[in-house]
A and B are shown apart, each in its own frame.
Chain A
Amino acid sequence: MSATALAEAPHETRYETIRIADPSPRETKISAQDVHVYYGAKEALHHVSIDIPAKSVTAFIGPSGCGKSTFLRCFNRMNDTIDGCRVVGRLDMDGEDLNDHRQDVVLLRARVGMVFQKPNPFPKSIYDNIAYGPRIHGVARSKSDLDAIVEHSLTRAGLWQEVKDRLQEPGTGLSGGQQQRLCIARAIAVSPEVILMDEPCSALDPIATARVEELIRELRENYTIIIVTHSMSQAQRVSDRTAYFHLGYLVEEGPTESIFNDPQEKRTKDYITGVFG
């Protein structure tokens, strides 16, 4: 089916997502069930259902405007901050619905951290950038606790050796790649269970990108990671599972290897081979 035919399709039509199971199934961390997102009257995301496995990297790929970033923001309710945006459906994390209106979004966002497209360190010192989350959530009981959290987070993000002697210097003075790792460290500092990454390397040069990708692979040991990316090769390098979105539909999802080597859908195949997108 062509892209235009899909765009013109009436809403009632349901396109079933092609799902390929993992050869060695993992425990599910988050289970999205029939999620719809609306911007005003426009439906931007149609009945997306997907299971995100724990302690692994899931990549969302697809052409611009396909709804992958919108879907990512459902996991920490960042869509709440956008005027006129409405999310319908269930997002179960460990059996509780993230999308429930009674959910405390402030606590949720400590459990589901986020790293943004452009590095966005606060105009504060490196130390205060990391300490920001623990301070607002009252995690640290003493100054030495906080120091330990800062050191631990920076070490995890592979930045400790580079910045340990200048923790009081502004975070905005670091290079782009260091800034992005600072943002990752900042997210780690509140000990999240899930880390969302929205095109984390799109503003970085190839060397900084390689460092961040290496970091993502290390973080997989302890965190559930969901990454949105425009780079096919990045998705192949860092992710365990890949989900392909197209015009607001989840077209195909499965182990990264099988998606890239043996796509079942023509649209997936066209996109990953560069015919369109």
Chain B
Amino acid sequence: MNTFIVVAIILIALGFAYNWGARASRSVANRTGAKMHSRPIYYGVYVMLWCAVPAALVLVLYLVFQPMIVDAVIGGYLPADVAADPGATRTAMRNIEAIASGYGIIGDVEPYQQDAADALSAFTLTARLALIALAAAAAIGGLVFAQRQIHPSFRARNRVELAIKVLLLTCSAIAILTTVGIVLSVLSEAIRFFTFVHPFDFFFGTTWNPRFSSTGTGGQGEYGLLPLLWGTMMITIIAMVVAVPIGLMAAIYLSEYAGPKFRFVAKPLLEVLAGIPTIVYGFFALVTVGPFLSRLGDVVGLDINATSALTAGIVMGIMIIPFVSSLSDDIISQVPQAMRNGSFGLGATQSETIRKVILPAALPGIVGAFLLAVSRAVGETMIVVLAAGNSPVLTANPFEAVSTVTVTIVNQLTGDTDFASPQSLVAFALGLTLFVITLCLNVVAIYIVKKYREQYE
């Protein structure tokens, strides 16, 4: 049975249920002569919901329990030596499922695997049929139940409203629960990491050298966060030094000086910068900016690495310019026209008005925008992966290669990884650190921006 047919059947069933409900309400109205509480469409939708929701629940339960049942079915066929080894069991299970689904496997099929696969396909067929029967029964049961409730005083309209509310609540709950789930899983992995490495050594260590076990040096290595954090900070500071003045002044020009025509063209163009994928900025940094800075260094007698904190910082700054300018522009535009009039009316020039009235009035909002930009810079990955040079050492020299928290996460999780070793688990501790930093920045920024917004309302 292919998916298209299933979807078609479900839609037809729902249409039928709707129709049935609507029709039943009309016939009840005709028979009793009373005025129905709701319009027929609400009775239709109500019956349709009672048809769809129980059937959907049956499906969800099946999907949840199916893997357990499959394991139980196959489990009996596994030879003792395979069943004793968890790794081998996992491989065998995967193979059996592959054979049963008809895709086959690479290599020889062992007899027990073939038997198990046959049993599994037989079981799956039965289970499918049972599922269809059960879902259909649930749908029909719901339908009949709902249809019986149709009565002139039955408030179908209010029930449908409730169902819509529940639907919306479910959607927002999914978004929130996902976030919570991610945080919890990162947290639990990070805690596992801290069973290998003491938190003190992690947060205050100055050496980053997570010796991969494959290099044969053995041991756990050293996991000092500080070089990475310092690299992140240095690049963020350079990015801010580039982005804040340019972005802010662009915003001032656009909101205070530019005519409507220029603004109409320039604002979207500036925002195009924000739409460029960061990987493109990354190779722009690697191919153009890095070599340029390096040559510039030769000319003025400085030793600048092509991949360095400076390269990554400058390019990241360029990336953040539209972010800073568009936020600042919104905030500056929110300063009431009355402030400008008051200042002009006293004989202030435009730049005096901006420096002495508008910017001070907009300052809290601009600080908020600045913090949001910082949290973006801290979490940015692709540019630094390509352009920062990946050298996790503590250095105050921006012309040298550095590494950041994000880059290190990428390094620790790419290639062959075993998720039980501190080498991989450290990525979760790093991710958690990053998450806490950006969360704090965002909370403070949102608080400041919100407080500022209230000021003129």
Residues in chain A within 8 A of chain B (CB atoms)? 76, 78, 81, 83, 105-110, 113-114, 116, 118, 120-124, 132-133, 136-137, 183, 186-187, 190
Query: Contact: B356 with A132, CB < 8 Å?
Result: yes
How many A-B residue pairs lie within 8 Å, measured between CB atoms? 69
Segment with Cβ contacts to A, from B171-179, B337-345, B371-379:
B337-345
Residue B346 at the chain A interface, CB threshold 8 Å: yes
Residue of B nearest to A117 (CB): B338
Contact B361 A107 (CB under 8 A): no
Most chain A beta-carbon contacts within 10 A, residue among B259, B338, B340:
B338
Subset of 7 A-B contacts with CB under 8 Å: A109-B344, A120-B336, A123-B360, A136-B346, A136-B347, A137-B347, A183-B342
Question: Given contacts A120-B336, A123-B455, is CB(A76)–CB(B345) below 8 Å?
Answer: yes
Also in contact, A81 and B356, with CB within 8 A (given A116-B338, A122-B361) = no
Q: Contact at B260–A132, with CB atoms within 8 Å?
A: no
Contact flags (1/0) for B11-50 with A, using CB distance below 8 Å?
Answer: 0000000000000000000000000000000000000000
**B contact residues around A105 at 8 Å (CB):** 347
Sorting the interface of chain B by its residue count into under 10, 10 to 19, 20 to 34 or 35 or more gives 20 to 34
Is B434 interfacial (CB 8 A cutoff)? Answer: no
Contact of B346 with A78 in the complex, beta carbons under 8 Å: no
Q: Is B246 an interface residue (CB 8 A)?
A: no
Given contacts A122-B361, A123-B361, A136-B356, contact A116 B346 (CB under 8 A): no
State the main secondary structure of chain A at its contact with B. Answer: helix
CA distance A110 to B343 in the complex (A): 11
List the A residue with the shortest CB-CB distance to B456: A123
Q: Which residues of A contact B91 (CB under 8 A)?
A: none
Q: Does B131 have its Cβ within 8 Å of any Cβ on chain A?
A: no
**A116-B338, A118-B338, A122-B357 in contact; A78/B347 too (CB < 8 A)?**
no
- Give min CB distance, B218 to chain A, whole Å: 64
**Would B346 and A120 count as touching, CB distance under 8 A?**
no
Residues B348 and A136 in contact, CB atoms below 8 Å apart: yes
- Which residues of chain B have C-beta atoms less than 8 A from A118's C-beta? 338
Q: Is the CB of A186 within 8 A of B346?
A: yes
State whether the Cβ of B330 lies closer than 8 Å to any Cβ in chain A.
Answer: no
Closest 7 CB pairs of A and B: A109-B347, A120-B338, A114-B345, A110-B347, A133-B346, A120-B342, A123-B361
Of A78, A110, A132, most B-chain CB atoms within 10 Å: A132
Complexed CA–CA distance, A113 and B345 (Å): 6
Q: Contacting B341 at CB < 8 Å: which of A78, A108, A136?
A: A78
Instruction: Report B-chain residues with C-beta under 8 Å of the C-beta of A113.
Output: 345-346
Closest to A80 in B: B344
B349 on interface, CB distance cutoff 8 Å: yes
Chain A residues with CB under 8 Å of B341's CB are: 78, 81, 114, 116, 120
Known pairs A116-B342, A187-B346; list 15 more (Cβ under 8 Å). A78-B344, A106-B347, A106-B349, A109-B344, A109-B345, A109-B347, A113-B345, A120-B339, A122-B342, A123-B361, A132-B346, A132-B348, A136-B346, A183-B342, A187-B345
**What separation, in Å, do the CA atoms of A106 and B345 have in the docked complex?**
9
